[in-house]
Amino acid sequence: MRLKYRRALGEVFERIIRQGIKSGAFARQDAAVIAACLVGACFEGLVGPLSPESVTSEGERSVLVEAIIGFALRAVVGPAPAASPVAPRR
């Protein structure tokens, strides 16, 4: 069941990334790979830190969520590498 949700979220992320690349807001990159990486980062970043035992306040939750959002945005809007070993999928 968990893989079903990850796959669905990955498809949403990939669609957003492709739209961002097309509009010029995101660097050219392999949207499918980046989407999969973001899904993994989100799920892994939230498993321990957001469990009820580890986060005690709404402020701590907000800080964690903002950090994950910042990471995700830097992953897609950063400059494309000068020489990429893998050509982006279209």
Q: What is the tens place of the pLDDT at every residue in 1-55?
A: 778 999 999 999 999 999 999 999 999 999 999 999 999 988 877 776 666 567 6
Give the pair of three-digit tokens for residue 26: 């995101």
Helix axis angle, 31-47 to 58-77, nearest 10°: 160
Give the pair of three-digit tokens for residue 27: 């660097």
Q: Are 18 and 31 in contact (CB under 8 A)?
A: yes
Q: Are 55 and 61 in contact (CB under 8 A)?
A: yes
The pLDDT value given to residue 54: 72
Give the pair of three-digit tokens for residue 60: 């701590």
Q: Examine the pLDDT at 59 and tell me if it is beyond 70.
A: yes
The residue type at 47: V
The structure tokens 């590498």 sit at 81
